[in-house]
Structure 1
Amino acid sequence: MYAAEEEAVNLFLRYLREEKRVAERTAISYQSDLRRFADYCKAKDILQWTDVQASDVRQYIAARHKDRISSKTIRRDLAALRSFYRFLLKSNRVAVNPALHVKAPKAPKRLPKVLDVDQMAGILDAEAGSVLEIRDVAMFELFYSSGLRLSELVMLDDVDLDFAEGFLRVRFGKGGKQRRAPLGSKAAVAINTWLKVRPDFSTPALFISSAGRRLSQRTVQLRLNRWVAKLDFDEHVHPHMLRHSFASHLLESSQDIRAVQELLGHSSVATTQIYTHLDFQHLASVYDKAHPRSRKARESEEKSRE
């Protein structure tokens, strides 16, 4: 591009640093993104910023996607272009922002990590060695038994549990929705064990600290980290993995996606369908290991002959 076009980029970078006060790392990233786009434009004989059309930006983004650049990086490319053209508009250097309505390719949905049944048993069946660990095991049992969100777990009160009916009431679900969730027998036993040793404070909260305060979400996370570290667990575990494992194991056994949707408190079955992909991964793994025509099964058989 011409010197005037280069100067526009330099002015934009100065504007970011001096007026917007962006981090130097961000300014350098934007500079790199804009130079890459400028090189693309030169190759297409587009020599002025005013000549860039929305179709040119779309083709550039498509080329980046074709080169298997991550969706996250492409979104940053677009952010740099939109910000740059907003600056050019503000300084009356261009009449339109060609990147304004261009969309980045959707990022592939990441499947939630789950623990298998044996891993869950390892976490839940370990013996507690203190009052706080008795509480923690009760929390983890309830998490997995009822498929709760972390926010729902910490907001439970004593009165929300119905041991006779085997249910609990979730009063603070997502979007303010209430629902009933199952209370498994092992969770009921673990909670009763906790209630027998729980410090005597006048608080309605089911799970409290040694000082009598309702536990925070962060505290539950830290306690889970401490528990799995004590067990020498070789995988990072976060609280929602227990909820994900509940959903995956239940769906794998029942094949009833509507029931799992209700138990999880999802407003749409589309949200629950991600667990069907997890189930298929399990089936695909079984196929790879067992089917005589699968590549992995053949490789295993060949190794056994060596």
Structure 2
Amino acid sequence: MTDPQPLNPNWQHTLDLFLAFARNEKHYSDATVDAYQRHLATSAHYFSQFVNNWQAIEVENVKGLLAKLKSRDLSARTINLHLSCLRSFYKFLMKKGLAKSNPVELVKGPKYNKPLPKNLDVDQVSQLLEIVPEDTLAIRDKAMMELMYSSGLRLSELASLNLNDKQAIFNGLLTVTGKGSKDRVIPVGRKAIAAVKEWLKVRAEFANPDEIALFTSKQKRRLSIRQIRARMKKWGIEQGLSANVHPHKLRHSFASHILESSGDLRAVQELLGHSNLSTTQVYTHLDFQHLAKVYDNTHPRAKKK
């Protein structure tokens, strides 16, 4: 099911309308729009063997697509991603009056177990952040990791912080723009504030006078997402953690530790910037694992000899 040929205009025009909607009205990232383009183009090439346009597709065509994807030994997760793209696409078509029926509505994808997000426990986070700031890079990296763990930032949100965000950080309430260009206000803890202040004392060594980025590199420009990942991985190794440390793991750890202490799932949803509570509910599984561990270690009838 390779897609070497361009789509027939009957298919491409409708797809272009959806992609423009995703980009301009939903404010999806370029990566998300590209993923929609790829998956829906693959679907269109398959469907075009049987019907002339998106409006003519029926339930059996969708089931045939899933069977074809399965025959390519694609994972259940990838197949469900194709189906999810089609669901969003037909929801758009129905809303705009560009389709009379939704052939995807009653089609179920293959079952698969969603992997739980990995997180560090409190002791591991403390071990990671107990960095002795012997040089400027260490001071910068400690500030980044303290801020990410303190506030549950996404990697993109951390990388896009600017120097003019410093006062908000010092005040303990930072506004960031997350997915879908949605703003949210998040608290900043005292240790993160202190770490950022230490970084700002030496930032001039790594920034040109007109550089607006908060976190900068040896090249005196904004740190890239790739560079931040590499630095956190390095510190995970140097601090003796067996687990692979990456930015998203700090965000997961933030959410898990807040939930363990508060039990307030909706507060965690707001702090993470999740649109749907169902996205946040994965952390209830992590919280249950924590409670089960406490039970096993403390209940008189559950203690292991």
TM-score, normalisation: structure 2: 0.63
Counterpart residue number, 1:195: 200
Cα deviation for residue 128 of structure 1 reads 2.0
Quote the offset at 1:103 in angstroms: 4.5
Residue 178 of structure 1: aligned partner: 183
Contact 2:119 2:253 in 1 (8 A): yes
1:228 to 225, 229, 236: 236
Distance 1:264 1:72 in 2: 24
Partner of 2:171: 165
> Percent sequence identity over matched residues?
53
Rate the CA distance shift 1:164–1:191 in 2: closer, same or farther, 3 A: closer
Within 1, Cα distance between the matches of 2:78 and 2:153?
Answer: 34
Q: 5+ residue gaps in structure 2?
A: 6-59, 81-105
Uncovered stretches (5+) of structure 1, i.e. residues with no partner? 1-15, 21-53, 65-69, 76-100, 302-306
- In the alignment, the residues of structure 1 paired with residue 76 and residue 170 of structure 2 have an alpha-carbon distance, to the nearest angstrom, of 50
2:158 — aligned with what?
A: 153
Equivalent AA in structure 2 for residue 232 of structure 1: G
What's the CA shift for 1:262? 1.0
- Contact 2:131/2:138 (CA < 8 Å) preserved in 1? no
Q: Distance between the aligned counterparts of 1:71 and 1:285, measured in 2?
A: 31
In 1, are the aligned partners of 2:170 and 2:193 still within 8 Å (CA)? no
Distance of aligned partners of 1:280 and 1:227 in 2 relative to their CA distance in 1, 3 Å threshold: same
2:215 maps to 1:207: yes
Q: How many residues are paired up?
A: 218
Find out whether 1:133 has 2:132 as its counterpart: no
**Cα-to-partner distance string for 1:142-166 (whole Å, 9 max, x where unaligned):** 0000100000000001212324531
Structure 2: distance between partners of 1:252 and 1:264: 15
Verify: 1:250 aligned to 2:258, yes or no. yes
1:280 correspondence with 2:288: yes
Q: Which amino acid aligns with 2:172?
A: G
C-alpha deviations, 1:254-274, integer Å up to 9, x for none? Answer: 111111111111111111111
Whichever of the two has the greater Rg, that structure is 1
TM-score (norm 1): 0.63
Cα distance in 1 for residues equivalent to 2:157 and 2:124: 23
C-alpha separation in 2, matches of 1:185 and 1:221: 24
Question: Aligned to 2:236, what secondary structure does the other structure show?
Answer: helix
Cα distance in 1 for residues equivalent to 2:235 and 2:140? 12
In 2, the alpha carbon distance for the partners of 1:287 and 1:164 equals 39
Could you tell me how far apart the structure 2 residues matched to 1:141 and 1:163 are?
A: 12
SS of 1:128's equivalent in the other structure is coil
Shift of 1:72: 5.6
CA-to-aligned-CA distance 1:63-107 (integer Å, 9 cap, x gap) = x9xxxxx846998xxxxxxxxxxxxxxxxxxxxxxxxx9744222
Distance 1:227 1:283 in 2: 29
Aligned counterparts, 1:5-44, within 5 A = none
Cα deviation, 1:19-60, whole Å, max 9, x if unaligned, reads: 99xxxxxxxxxxxxxxxxxxxxxxxxxxxxxxxxx7xx99xx
